[in-house]
Structure 1
Amino acid sequence: MTPVRRLLILAVGVLLLGGVGAWSVLSAADRADEENRPRPGGPAFAAGAVDLDRPGRLVFRNTAAGPQRDRLVSVPAKGATGAVRTASDVSCVRFHAAAGTGVCLQETKVLGRPAYRAQILDAELRTLKSYPLAGIPSRARVSPSGRLAAWTVFVKGESYGSAFFSTRTAILDTRDWKLAANLEEFAITLDGRSYRNQDVNFWGVTFAPDDDTFYATLATGEQTYLVRGSVRARSVTTLARNVECPSLSPDGTRVAYKKRVLGRTALWREHVMDLRTLKSTPLTERRSVDDQAVWLDDRTLAYALPADTRPHSEDVWTVPADGTGAPALLLQDAQAPPPAKR
């Protein structure tokens, strides 16, 4: 090959690479512009303060396209559907709050690459503490008193439905800032026997009012379990199988959870389990709910489902917790909110 031909091939290669690079940059810019462009007919926003302690208000992550995407917003609990949203300047990819304490899992950039952190917020959304996260945020919960916070991240994989994933779940005491960074270090009693295995994963913590007892999902040996745990004793005990993302009812007697089912139209179905009898009731929501539901009150559950016609957005639905009734739309372009303060 002559030197001139080599130079021509090199020049063509440089032009092609430049074209690919330019196309990638433009495509990324187009996607970013699309996400920052409010959609016609989307929710309306207003400036104002978002306060976690304000009675009668729902606070949640907004998922509508536009400049307020991922912001924490507030609407009246009554008439929430279609209400004008008061938008804060705090952005989260996962959020939960109780008794004036919030946990906000955020995505940031470090040297141009995604990085994640957990922010503990006060009632006025000011950051009290910040903790780096080992992976992609998945679940977040605060105990009823606001004292304990928990979060789960994916350290491998990005979905509970994928064949290969690994999680890390932490519990934080906001009084002394003592952090149990990995529940996999807790002692496990499985089916009445002490258990330890390298494939153990935990996710979906939910707290009892005593600021010690919690429930969560334990996965091991291709099986998932509902576990009851103690923060002080650093231990968990299995209660039932095929339970994921539990959520404890306000009266402490039941857990809502997603149960893996066989079928062409659903991967998980939402159930409610009586903790005294371990008897479960399937709910009337038949779509696959990949969420940790929240109890709006002792009778009503809320959960997020992907929006049918709006990519990268979710809608919040409610359903009675006793297996009756029918699902109803609560919020468009939102993640399921914690219950409003009364």
Structure 2
Amino acid sequence: MAVETGRTSGAGVRLLILVLVAALLGTAAVLYTTRAADRATERDRARPGAPATRAGAVSLREPGRLLFRNLAWGPARDRIASVPLAAASGPRTTGPRDCLRFHAAAGTGICLRSKGGVVPRYEAVLLDARLTPVRHFAVPGVPTRARVSPSGRLVAWTVFVSGDSYAGGTFSTRTAVYDTRTGTLHPSLEAFTVFKDGRRHRAADHNFWGVTFAADDNTFYATLATGGRTYLVEGDLARRTLRTVHENAECPSLSPDGTRVAFKKRVLGRPADAPWRLTVLDLRTGAETALAERTSVDDQALWLDGRTLLYALPGDFGADLWSVPVDGGGSPRRVVVSGTSPAVVG
């Protein structure tokens, strides 16, 4: 009995030593990881041109602010950032929400985000004025466009169901519109009736993307691709109809007064992977104005005001936000380093 007790006590001591060693190794690993993360954060913050960020409250109702997806390297990457419109290049405040695409208006936000996992999954998250999730929608592909109507009532999003670029022309999209007041979800614009040149148009290759809303919460514009061409279409949400109004127009953005549409126009002779020129269409006259930005812009531009557009171009940390006058004059100006998906809080 004494021998057996001795063996048990010896085994217990060895087990205790193993537990203590494992605990010490675990503590050391945690300390190493934490210090490495701290050093990485310090290194990222020290990179030339990296903007200063701080965590804090971000509101969709604080006037005079520019919100966007923060792309600066560090723990706040992909979070929604807020800066004063009058000092957009200065320090930014980042909220708790991670988004791949984002837009907001009148206290309503839409965030397209990754859900993680071995197999990538994505969702559209409706946000309130404090960036608190209100409702979640599963989406069938990679997020690419998002918009909220001026009143905050309607939201729209587009995802790539197959393919991941508008440049090559071989892709499939799915665009949904949600009415926050009635709770009605239109899961795909492909269910709407299309009129082309005044006649009903049926085709298996209809693709829609890039919704932009008018102030009446019924009229909207979007891109239709069919037969190897793209069209600006005007939508009627109540009637579930779409009609073509202009050819060779992608990713429209309606001006605050509802009279003009900014869009991407494909230009012959440009490279296949960079074919676009930012252009503004007068909806009344049909006149086009090519803008001073000559770099191909693969983005849905945003009207900063009635005279200026905001848009993203590739940058050192992913993308930067630029501005350009809408009258065709002036020259492009970088507004925000390491940012994309802007929204203006009036």
Q: Does the alignment reach a TM-score above 0.5?
A: yes
Does the CA-based 8 Å contact 1:295-1:338 persist in structure 2?
no
Are 2:122 and 1:116 aligned?
yes
The ranges of structure 1 where at least 4 consecutive aligned residues each deviate by more than 6 angstroms after the TM superposition are 33-37
> What SS does structure 1 have at the residue aligned with 2:109?
strand
Does the CA-based 8 Å contact 2:197-2:244 persist in structure 1?
yes
Name 1:221's counterpart in structure 2: 227
Are 2:95 and 1:80 aligned?
no
TM-score, normalising length: structure 2:
0.85
Gaps of 5+ in 1: 1-32
How many Å separate the matches in 2 of 1:163 and 1:53? 38
> What whole-Å deviation, never above 9, does each CA across 1:267-301 have from its counterpart, x for those lacking one?
10000000001111000000000000000100000
Count the aligned residue pairs. 305
Name 1:326's counterpart in structure 2: 331
> What SS does structure 1 have at the residue aligned with 2:150?
coil
Are 2:257 and 1:251 aligned?
yes
Name 2:314's counterpart in structure 1: 306
Cα deviation for residue 109 of structure 1 reads 1.8
How many Å separate the matches in 1 of 2:96 and 2:331? 35
> What whole-Å deviation, never above 9, does each CA across 1:151-202 have from its counterpart, x for those lacking one?
0000000000124100000000001221000000100001111011110000
- Once the two structures are overlaid, the 10-residue window that deviates more, 45-54 or 35-44, is 35-44
Are 2:103 and 1:93 aligned?
no
How many Å separate the matches in 1 of 2:156 and 2:279? 22
Q: Counterpart of 2:56 in structure 1: which amino acid? A: G
> What SS does structure 1 have at the residue aligned with 2:161?
strand
Q: Counterpart of 1:335 in structure 2: which amino acid? A: T
Does the CA-based 8 Å contact 2:103-2:341 persist in structure 1?
no
How many Å separate the matches in 2 of 1:36 and 1:222? 49
How many Å separate the matches in 1 of 2:136 and 2:69? 19
Are 2:220 and 1:208 aligned?
no
Structure (1 or 2) with the larger CA radius of gyration: 2
Cα deviation for residue 122 of structure 1 reads 0.4
> What whole-Å deviation, never above 9, does each CA across 1:83-127 have from its counterpart, x for those lacking one?
1111111000000000000000001124x2211000000000011
Does the CA-based 8 Å contact 1:37-1:65 persist in structure 2?
no
Name 2:282's counterpart in structure 1: 274
How many Å separate the matches in 2 of 1:240 and 1:77? 33
Would the alpha carbon gap of residues 203 and 36 (structure 1) be closer, same or farther in structure 2, given more than 3 Å must change? farther
Are 2:304 and 1:296 aligned?
yes
Query: What is the percentage of aligned positions where both structures have the same residue?
Result: 56
Q: Counterpart of 1:240 in structure 2: which amino acid? A: H
Residue number among 146, 156, 160 corresponding to 2:152 in the alignment: 146
Residue number among 66, 78, 82 corresponding to 1:70 in the alignment: 78
Q: Counterpart of 2:276 in structure 1: which amino acid? A: W
Would the alpha carbon gap of residues 34 and 186 (structure 1) be closer, same or farther in structure 2, given more than 3 Å must change? farther
Does the CA-based 8 Å contact 2:70-2:340 persist in structure 1?
yes
Does the CA-based 8 Å contact 1:153-1:167 persist in structure 2?
yes
Gaps of 5+ in 2: 1-38
Does the CA-based 8 Å contact 1:36-1:67 persist in structure 2?
no
Cα deviation for residue 34 of structure 1 reads 7.9
How many Å separate the matches in 2 of 1:36 and 1:176? 47
How many Å separate the matches in 1 of 2:185 and 2:69? 25
